[in-house]
Amino acid sequence: MASNFTSAPCLAAITAITLAVSAPAPAGECSRKDALGTSRILTVDASSSPRVGLKSFPQTLPLEDREVVLTFDDGPWPGTTPKVLAALAHECVRATFFLIGRLASERPDMVRAIAARGHTVAHHTWAHPNLKYLKPEAAIGEIDRGIAAVETALRGAASTTPSTPFFRFPYFEMTPAALDNLQRRGIVVFGADLWAGDWNPMTPAQQLNLLTERLQISRKGIILLHDPKAQTAAMLPAFLRYLRDNRYRVVHVVWSGGRTVPDKAH
């Protein structure tokens, strides 16, 4: 679940996009009648779902049989995130992106592109360290610096109060102190229910087979993928077709206090 870093252009004006991400279109809106689509929007908040994902916690999101939530970690990454966004757009699917603050600060245009297409922008620290091995104050500082960087890229102003209070720990390594801090602040901690382990080298076909085999067993859940991985970007169109052909439904998670609006071009 590691990341690469690169340089990027300076932060541009974002007033128009900030205004455009205030309210959603209907979940099922899609110009392609044969597309997978997004079946429904699920609102989430820390009062009812403070920690979700069965790989880490006792509970997960209230999903029905054959419902999945697509999540992507470690972006944005210029070589692959646009391909992931294109695949999602082709099938009219919305996902959640847990962004690394350092990369967001280097590619604010990509952060805004993710939000403008209706996806949920969430948080994944500043530089992806293992917070379990940091002192408590350093761990919270790493979380807050990442949140502030993403908020700056998205809305033009740094804040440690996230617009969408969703967070995922790097490597799923967490401490009671960090968990308590996030819960006091109303920030939902996301784990996952299944993954293909795309941080390991494999071909897109191998990744697709592994992911679909695990989904056949679990039948639903929060799926973890990584948009900086070339194999994931290459695999994603086939996986979305698999979901469509096997009657799975994609659920888009948003914070109960606010939603995003998709790009009307989709």
Task: Give the active site residue among 73, 193, 198, 227.
Answer: 73
The pLDDT assigned to 258 comes to 58
Q: Residues of the chain whose pLDDT is less than 70?
A: 1-29, 258-266
Which residue ranges form the domains of the chain, and what is each CATH number? Answer: 44-255 (3.20.20.370)
Cα-Cα-Cα-Cα dihedral sign, residues 48, 53, 58, 59 = positive
Task: Determine the distance from the C-alpha atom of residue 182 to the mean position of all C-alpha atoms in its chain, rounded to a whole number.
Answer: 18
Active-site option among 128, 226, 252, 266? 226
pLDDT at 7: 33
Exposure of 154 in the CB half-sphere (CA atoms within 13 A): 32
pLDDT of residue 8: 33
pLDDT in tens, 169-196: 999 999 999 999 999 999 999 999 999 9
Give yes or no: 226 in active site. Answer: yes
